[in-house]
Chains A and B, each alone.
Chain A
Amino acid sequence: MNSSPTRILGAAALALLLMAGCATRPPADDPEALQEFRENNDPFEPANRVMFEVNEAIDKAVLQPIAEAYRDVLPKPVRSGIRNVLGNLRAPTILTGDLLQGNVTRARETLGRFIVNSTIGIGGIVDVGRRYDVHGHSEDMGQTLAVWGVGEGFFMFVPLLGPTTARDLVGFATDIYTNPQSLIGQGQILDVWNYTRLGMTVVDTREALLEPFDMVRKTSLDPYATLRSAYRQRRIFEIENREGPGGAVAPAGGVGFGQGVMEPQ
Chain B
Amino acid sequence: MLPFLLSRRSLLGGLAGLAIQPAQAQQVDIARATAFVNKAGQDLVNAINEPRLNTAQRRDKVAGILRTAIDIEGTGRFILGRYVRQASPAELQEYLKLFDEIIIRNLSARFGEYRGVKFSLGRSQQRTEEDALVSTQVERPNTPPFTLDWRVAEINGQPRVVDVIAEGTSLRLTTRSEYSAVIQRNGGRVAALLDAMRGQITQLAAREGG
* A and B together in one complex: yes
Determine whether the beta carbon of A221 is less than 8 Å from that of B196: yes
Whether B200 is near chain A, meaning CB under 8 Å from some CB there, is: yes
A248 to B145, CA, bound (A): 11
**Per-position 1/0 for B168-208, Cβ under 8 A of A:** 11100110111111100100000001001100100000010
Whether A69 is near chain B, meaning CB under 8 Å from some CB there, is: no
Interface with B: A56-64, A110-118, A223-231, which one?
Answer: A223-231
A88 to B106, CA, bound (A): 37
Given contacts A32-B82, A237-B167, contact A225 B144 (CB under 8 A): no
- What are 28 A-B contacts defined by CB distance under 8 Å? A33-B82, A219-B106, A220-B178, A221-B193, A221-B197, A221-B200, A222-B182, A225-B177, A225-B178, A225-B180, A225-B181, A226-B174, A229-B173, A229-B174, A229-B178, A230-B169, A230-B174, A233-B169, A237-B167, A238-B168, A242-B168, A246-B146, A246-B167, A248-B144, A262-B143, A262-B144, A263-B144, A265-B142
What 19 new A-B contacts, CB under 8 Å, besides A234-B169, A262-B146? A32-B81, A32-B82, A215-B110, A221-B197, A225-B182, A226-B174, A229-B174, A230-B169, A230-B174, A233-B170, A233-B173, A237-B167, A237-B169, A238-B168, A244-B137, A244-B147, A247-B167, A262-B144, A263-B143
Within 8 A of B (CB), among A199-223: 215, 218-222
A185 to B193, CA, bound (A): 55
Whether A198 is near chain B, meaning CB under 8 Å from some CB there, is: no
Range of interface residues on B (Cβ < 8 Å): 20 to 34
A236 to B169, CA, bound (A): 10
Contacts of B173 in A (CB 8 A): 229, 233
A residues adjacent to B (C-beta < 8 A):
32-33, 36, 40, 76, 215, 218-222, 224-226, 228-230, 233-234, 236-238, 242-248, 260, 262-263, 265
A40 to B177, CA, bound (A): 9
Closest residue of A by beta carbon distance from B197? A221
B residues adjacent to A (C-beta < 8 A):
81-82, 106, 110, 137, 142-147, 167-170, 173-174, 176-182, 185, 193, 196-197, 200, 207
Which residue from A33, A229, A260, A265 sits with its C-beta under 8 Å from B167?
A260
**Chain A: minimal CB distance from B82 (Å):** 4
Given contacts A219-B106, A221-B197, A225-B181, contact A233 B144 (CB under 8 A): no
Determine whether the beta carbon of A222 is less than 8 Å from that of B82: no
Contacts of A40 in B (CB 8 A): 177
A76 to B142, CA, bound (A): 10
Contacts of A244 in B (CB 8 A): 137, 145-147, 167
A220 to B81, CA, bound (A): 18
Determine whether the beta carbon of B168 is less than 8 Å from that of A226: no
Determine whether the beta carbon of A222 is less than 8 Å from that of B178: yes
Contacts of A76 in B (CB 8 A): 142
Contacts of B144 in A (CB 8 A): 246-248, 262-263
Determine whether the beta carbon of A221 is less than 8 Å from that of B168: no
Given contacts A242-B168, A244-B137, contact A233 B146 (CB under 8 A): no
